[in-house]
Amino acid sequence: MSGELLLALDAGTGSCRAVLFGIDGRQVAMAQREWSHAEIPGVPGSQVFDTETNWALIAECVRQVLAQSGVDASAIRALSTTSMREGMVLYDKAGRDLWACPNVDSRAAVEATELVERGLAETIYRHGGDWVAITAPARLLWVQRHEPDLFAKVQHMNMLADWITHQLTGEFVTDPSIGSSSGMFDLARRGWSKDVIDICGMRSDVFPTVLEPGTVAGLVTGAAADATGLRTGTPVVVGGADTQLGLVGIGVVDPGKFTVIGGTFWQQTIGLGEAMIDPKARLRTLCHALPGQWMMEGIGFYSGLAMRWFRDAFCDLEKLEAGRIGADAYTLMERAAMEVPPGSNDVIGIFSNLMVASRWIHASPAFLQFNVGDPASSGRKECIRAIEEAAAYVSLGHLRIIEEITGEAIEGAVFTGGASKGKLWQRIMADVLGLPVSVPRVKESTALGAAMFAGIGAGVYPDVATAARQVVSFEATVDPDPEIHGRYGELYEGWKRVYGAQLAVVEGGLLKPLWKAAGV
């Protein structure tokens, strides 16, 4: 199999993965490690990305896929990287990690508020398409204020996908899709914004070179080879941001396609042929991984993590049974929830809010409206379905905002990511959206997108469109039930009203939010 495999490394919010593909798109092996991001005591909202521990976990994943597949590392023609957006790393002159955070670090609340009050948040949004809540400007100002000695040592900055590339090659590069998630880009130019860099009191030479996905960034070093089991000199190709590569991995390479990527977070996206920005600052716009394209998205905050939480908190029996029979606990959870009708027997799940980038706050997580007189039809299985319905409601809300901004009616959707493995979730998505929902055969679409760019960099494919034709296929299309869609329309409007009332309790200081952005 020499030279016939492509490797993708993915640093997600809740886990890291190494996924090995054949050049025909066939998934050969996958290894995953869950991780979490600790808060610093006394620093509210902080989350630390532990670069040392997390690099060790990524290296474990690489070694595992090599062992699972039984192939020699020389079989890997090239590899590429992807990650959550917004997460960032600061380095000293020698390239050593100084400071790192994941996407949802929100310690810079004061700094974000100051940017809003000075009118600079609006300036940054108009340049870069995203608010200051979880992007680099407020975080860089926080480091300057709270860790000035560390800040004085900063000579390089990059994003988490770029950090993996640096670990492998020693090079400092980024691409427009992950780079623009910093909030420090000029969207139209697909490059760093001097105006935003000046606002942050930074030097331009701190920021990495911007290369298009599919460009060779460097070669695996001897140290990286020792850590991972990869072959020294293996080409490392520029990849990009998880959502944008997820679209590439399902063959969505033309503007105008609506896609839901269901991971720890859910992203509801549409490709754009121009750098269009929401005039009401609700959704955000980033550069696409595709040349000359951009992407608008809404985010379902922790929509996938809510299901993982419920599994670990309440589904020990399903986990034990899954281990006994060699199944997935989520499959057993969905099997129970399939008995529940639309509306979850009146149980309502309160998790992610609709996105409002300029003031992003969520209600306290809750299940509401149990019938304590009928536990057989008002319990765990209803909660499972309510989690899935809540995620679908957020998807519907973002779909309607995208239609409003673009002036285009969406006629179909693609559903991918880990959540799309759920047969019930596929059905709920079709019925809530009222659209045909297509599900790709390969669910690790972000990793496949990275592998496709690895193949482009290695000369396996001439371009993205050709790669998509060769490797992407779909396993099913689920058509909506018109009657159930009508029922869900009523339930969605009720859910929004209930969510607003629950959020008011948080705003009144009586409950903690699921999460709130810095500066809210």
**Quick check: is 456 in a domain?**
no
- Where a domain ends, among 233, 249, 265? 249
Residue 457 domain flag: no
Give residues with Cβ within 8 angstroms of 66, minimum separation 6: 20, 29, 73, 229
My answer on whether 91 and 151 are in the same domain is yes
Residue 191 and residue 45 share a domain: yes
Asked which of 209, 226, 249 is the last residue of a domain, the reply is 249
Same domain, 240 and 308: no
Name the helix (H) or strand (E) containing 452: helix 445-457
Q: Are residues 308 and 430 in the same domain?
A: yes
> Do residues 298 and 280 touch, judged by C-beta distance below 8 A?
no
pLDDT surpasses 90 at 506: yes
Average pLDDT, the chain: 95
Distance separating alpha carbons of residues 456 and 147, to the nearest angstrom: 41
Angle between helices 120-128 and 109-117 (to 10 degrees): 90
Question: Which stretches of 26-171 are DSSP H helices?
Answer: 51-69, 109-117, 120-128, 136-146, 148-153, 160-169
Q: Is residue 325 in a domain? A: yes
Are β-strands 5-11 and 76-83 bridged in parallel, bridged antiparallel, or unpaired? parallel
Per the CB < 8 A criterion, the answer to whether 134 and 104 are in contact is: yes
User: How confident is the model at residue 2, as a pLDDT?
Assistant: 53
pLDDT score at 99: 98
Instruction: Indicate whether 214 belongs to any domain.
Output: yes
Amino acid identity of 390? A
Q: Are 342 and 237 in a shared domain?
A: no
Is 234 found in the same domain as 165? yes
Q: Are residues 82 and 210 in the same domain?
A: yes
- Please state the domain count of the chain: 2
Instruction: Characterize 334-347 residue by residue with b for buried, 16 or more Cβ atoms within 10 angstroms of its Cβ, and e for exposed.
Output: bebbeebebbbbeb
At 81-123, the pLDDT tens digits run 999 999 999 999 999 999 999 998 999 999 999 999 999 999 9
Q: Letter for the amino acid at 227?
A: A
Residue 1 has pLDDT above 60, yes or no: no
Asked whether residue 255 is domain-assigned, the answer is no
Q: Are residues 219 and 359 in the same domain?
A: no
How many C-beta atoms lie closer than 10 Å to residue 398's C-beta?
26
Rounded to whole angstroms, how far apart are CA atoms 273 and 255?
Answer: 6
Greatest CA separation found in the chain?
66
pLDDT of residue 473: 87
Domain range for 410 is: 298-441+481-507
Residues 68 and 133 in one domain: yes
Is 312 inside any structural domain?
yes
Q: Which amino acid is at 218?
A: G
The residue from 189, 219, 249 where one domain ends is 249
CATH number of the structural domain spanning residue 491:
3.30.420.40
Which single residue is written with the structure tokens 């299985």?
A: 381
Instruction: Quote the tokens at residue 279.
Output: 């005039």
DSSP reduced 3-state for 456: helix
Residue 169, domain member (yes or no): yes
Residue 127 lies in a domain: yes
User: What does the pLDDT look like over 309-335, one tens digit per residue?
Assistant: 999 999 999 999 999 999 999 999 999
Distance CA 187, CA 493 (A): 34
The verdict on 239 and 345 lying in the same domain is no
Whether residue 500 sits in one domain with residue 410? yes
At residue 3, the pLDDT reads 60
Block residue for tokens 């993915």: 10
Residues 178, 307 share a domain: no
